[in-house]
Each structure stands twice: as C-alpha cells, then as structure tokens.
C-alpha cells in the first residue's frame, strides 16, 4: 500500500472538544492504560507529557496504569468483565480494532478523523485503524517498520556484501541465497534461524516468507489467510532446503536476537530499532539493518502502529475528555512530536525530521517507505499466530511443505470464519 506524504497538512489543528463538554469550573477524571510502547511505559516520561496536557487542560485529570505484554491482555479483559474498563487504551489495531472494537466495546472515533486528519495520516495507517465497515476505533500516534539485520563484519569477511545494496538496505532473493552460501562457506554455521518455539517475533518469519517470492499473508479485504499461494509455498521450500538456515523449534524471536547479538547467528529476522538500542552495550560488531529479500528487490515490510482507543463506558463527559486528551497528544503542533518521541518510533504523518541529529533513528527511518499492508486485523488472528509456528515446526521436522501449509490454512481460516 502506497504511503502518502503530505507536507502542507502535516499538522492537524486540535479540536475543541472541551469547549462544549465541560461546564466552567468542573473537572473530569479519566483513566488511561498504556502498553509499554517505548517510553510510554515509563512513568516519568508519561508524567511529563501529562504535565504539558494539564497546562492547557486543567479541567481533565488523567490517571495512568502501566501494562506489560505478559499479563496486560488479561488485566484489560478482567476489567472489561467487571465493568471497570479504562477510558483510554494505548496500543495497536490488532487489539483496538480487531479485538475490542470488533466486540463492540470501543467508541467510534469518526469526529477525530477529520478530512484534514485523513489527508495527513499515511494511507497504510488510516486503513489499519478502521474495521471493514469503515468505523474508526483507533487514532494513531506512531509507527515502525520491522526489519532484519546482518552482522556486517561477518558478511564483509565472506565477501557477501556484494549481494546487497547498502544504500537502500534492500536485496533480491537471489542475492540473499548467494550471501547465505558465501557466509556459510566462510565458516559461519548456522547463518540464520527460522525460530518457531512460539509466536514471539513471528512478524519476522512471516515477512521473510512473504517477501521472498511476493506472497501475501491475507487477502486485501483482511477476511481470509492466503498462505497456500504458489509464492509462499515456494518460499518455504527454499528456506527448508537452504544450508545455513535452520528451522529451530527451541527458540523464539527474543532468543534469536540474543544469538545474533552474541555472534552465534550472522543474521536476525526479528529486528527493529528497539533491538539495536536495547543491545548496544553488548554488540561487538557492526549491525547492518536490512529489508527482507524479495524477488524484485522491492520489499514490503511488516510494521507496528500504535495509538489511542476509547472504551465505551457510557459516560459522555469522560468520552469527550478522552477525545480531548487524544487530540492534544496526537495533533497539537508542539505536543505531537514530543508524544511520538516518547514512543521511540516515528510519526504516522509528516512532522519533519523529529530525530534530527540522531544518526541511528535517521538510519532506521529509511525503512518506513517500505511499509506494506497492515494485515494483523484479520479475524482469528490469535489462532493464526499459533498455527504459524506450529507449521514452521512441522516443516523443520521434515513434513512436506504443502501438507504443513494446508494444515495452517485449515486452522487459520476456520478461526477467521471462512
């Protein structure tokens, strides 16, 4: 999906929700629960953002609770069942749109999605924040594109850098296979691992398979899974037969990252800017982040989108206060950039180079242009993720690729209601 960059409408003016919603002198208390998206999981950072908000809106008090990805979903679901859902939730479309929105628990944010907002926000992001009927359950703030990475030192020693384009950070499928062969012959074994002990980091293995020969994971309507295409089967067969690439059922994405960082692996499929920052102190080689290889050299990367949703708790004053908060954080001319920087990712609209002077962030910004379809909103998503790593395990133990893919299709599309 093409990303639209609009300079003239990069900053959308804030909307005066509070003007009609709050009587003079009254205050409204709301709650916000946030997953650990960059420093939005850090209390000191969020307190600073709230202080800026309350300088302009002292009539709204925001109480924050911090979630993690281990127990966060359970906490939210328990709160929902008990009638105590937060007013605002900060996360991504797979939860806000495909889960809670699909269950009718979220507020329609159509009034935040003005014509100006739709013009300013990138197309791929806008599409991900609404359901198939065009109802918006998320107002986005930040995004990232997931990449892979290589050990540049090892590739240089193996004369394998010739098979990739360091300037664009792209390579072809042929270049990828040639590079793996060169690195393997130079003594690095294994070169990479298709990790599959669980779903952790599965965006990397999905992107690897889909990119190699131009396959897709779902249809355009996000109603069915399409792994059984000729392109995807061909990609899985290529990986299963490649010397130097192991299907490893003992590790997940986080384990692969550590094996890459300590030099055991020469490439990582589970990578993004956060991984390089988090492991900066232990890395003893030059990391070269790369797009996933594709037959044409034109990648389509999986990405993350994060933003705000509002649970419909039946209190109009709280809903309007929540909208005021979201509008200020995401659209205020000064505040939007600070809110995005707190995420340690990139804005969903053109705010200029908010990381000017930060070479690492500028380097990784290269990959935003390669952002592909955000398909993580299809039905049966949780079941499909489980079916994915189960399928990779089957292939790793010698099951025929077409048979394993057929098993995935049955499980995933049954869960999607197809």
Do residues 196 and 389 make contact, with C-beta atoms less than 8 angstroms apart? yes
pLDDT of residue 132: 86
Q: Cα–Cα distances in Å, from 394 out to 5, 225, 240, 251, 398? A: 42, 19, 11, 15, 7
For residue 398, say if its preceding peptide bond is cis, omega within 30 degrees of 0.
no
Q: What is the arithmetic mean of pLDDT over 3-11?
A: 35
Give residue-wise pLDDT tens across range 192-234. 999 999 999 999 999 999 999 999 999 998 999 999 999 999 9
Percentage of the chain beyond pLDDT 70 is 94
Give residue-wise pLDDT tens across range 146-180. 999 999 999 999 999 999 999 999 999 999 999 99
How much is the CA Rg of the chain, to the nearest whole Å? 22
307 three-state secondary structure:
strand
* Residue ranges in 158-242 assigned as alpha helix (H): 173-185, 202-212, 230-241
Residues making up the chain, counted from first to last:
418
CA atoms within 13 A on the CB side of 46: 19
Provide the pLDDT confidence category of residue 17 given band limits of 50, 70 and 90. Answer: low
Provide the pLDDT confidence category of residue 8 given band limits of 50, 70 and 90. Answer: very low
Provide the pLDDT confidence category of residue 11 given band limits of 50, 70 and 90. Answer: very low
Q: What is the arithmetic mean of pLDDT over 289-310?
A: 97
Provide the pLDDT confidence category of residue 22 given band limits of 50, 70 and 90. Answer: low
pLDDT of residue 2: 35
* Closest by Cα among 307, 312, 317, 323 to 85: 312
Q: List, in order, residues 6 or more apart from 359 with CB less than 8 Å away.
A: none
Provide the pLDDT confidence category of residue 418 given band limits of 50, 70 and 90. Answer: confident
pLDDT of residue 4: 35
Give φ, ψ of 338 to 5 degrees: -65, -40
Question: How much is the pTM?
Answer: 0.85
Indicate the angle between helix axes 43-56 and 316-331, nearest 10 degrees. Answer: 100
119 three-state secondary structure:
helix
CB atoms within 10 A of CB 10: 17
DSSP label of 61? E
pLDDT of residue 15: 57
Question: What integer best gives the mean pLDDT of the chain?
Answer: 93
Give residue-wise pLDDT tens across range 31-42. 999 999 999 999
Give residue-wise pLDDT tens across range 62-99. 999 999 988 999 999 999 999 999 999 999 999 999 99
Q: Answer yes or no: is pLDDT of 5 > 50.
A: no
pLDDT of residue 334: 92
CB atoms within 10 A of CB 172: 18
pLDDT of residue 26: 85
């Amino acid at each position: 999906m093409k990303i639209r960059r609009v300079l003239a409408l990069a900053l959308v003016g804030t909307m005066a929700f509070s003007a009609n919603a709050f009587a003079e002198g009254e205050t409204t208390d709301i709650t916000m629960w946030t997953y650990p998206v960059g420093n939005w999981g850090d209390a000191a950072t969020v307190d600073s953002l709230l202080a800026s908000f309350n300088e302009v809106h002292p009539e709204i008090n925001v109480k924050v609770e911090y979630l993690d990805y281990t127990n966060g979903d359970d906490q939210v679901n328990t709160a929902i069942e008990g009638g105590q859902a937060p007013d605002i939730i900060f996360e991504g479309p797979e939860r806000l749109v495909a889960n809670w929105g699909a269950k009718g628990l979220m507020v329609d944010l159509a009034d935040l999605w003005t014509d100006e907002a739709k013009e300013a926000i990138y197309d791929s992001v806008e599409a991900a924040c609404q359901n198939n009927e065009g109802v918006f359950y998320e107002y986005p703030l930040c995004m990232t594109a997931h990449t892979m990475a290589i050990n540049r030192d090892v590739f240089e020693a193996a004369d394998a850098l010739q098979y990739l384009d360091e300037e664009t950070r792209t390579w072809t499928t042929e270049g990828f296979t040639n590079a793996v062969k060169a690195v393997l012959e130079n003594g690095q074994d294994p070169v990479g691992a298709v990790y599959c002990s669980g779903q952790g980091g599965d965006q990397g293995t999905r992107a690897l398979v889909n990119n190699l020969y131009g396959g897709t994971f779902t249809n355009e309507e996000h109603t069915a899974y399409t792994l059984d295409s000729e392109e995807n089967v061909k990609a899985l067969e290529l990986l299963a037969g490649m010397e130097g690439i192991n299907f490893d059922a003992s590790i997940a994405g986080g384990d692969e990252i550590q094996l890459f960082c300590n030099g055991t692996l020469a490439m990582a499929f589970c990578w993004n800017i956060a991984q390089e920052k988090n492991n900066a102190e232990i890395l003893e080689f030059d990391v070269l982040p790369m797009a996933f290889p594709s037959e044409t050299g034109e990648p389509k990367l999986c990405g993350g989108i994060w933003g705000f949703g509002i649970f419909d708790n039946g209190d109009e004053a709280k809903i309007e206060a929540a909208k005021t908060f979201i509008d200020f954080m995401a659209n205020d001319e000064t505040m939007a950039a600070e809110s995005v920087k707190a995420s340690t990712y990139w804005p969903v609209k053109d705010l200029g180079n908010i990381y000017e002077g930060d070479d690492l962030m500028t380097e990784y910004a290269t990959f935003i242009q390669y952002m592909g379809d955000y398909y993580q909103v299809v039905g049966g998503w949780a079941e499909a993720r489980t079916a994915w790593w189960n399928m990779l395990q089957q292939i790793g133990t010698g099951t025929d690729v077409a048979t394993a893919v057929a098993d995935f299709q049955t499980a995933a599309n049954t869960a999607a209601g197809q």
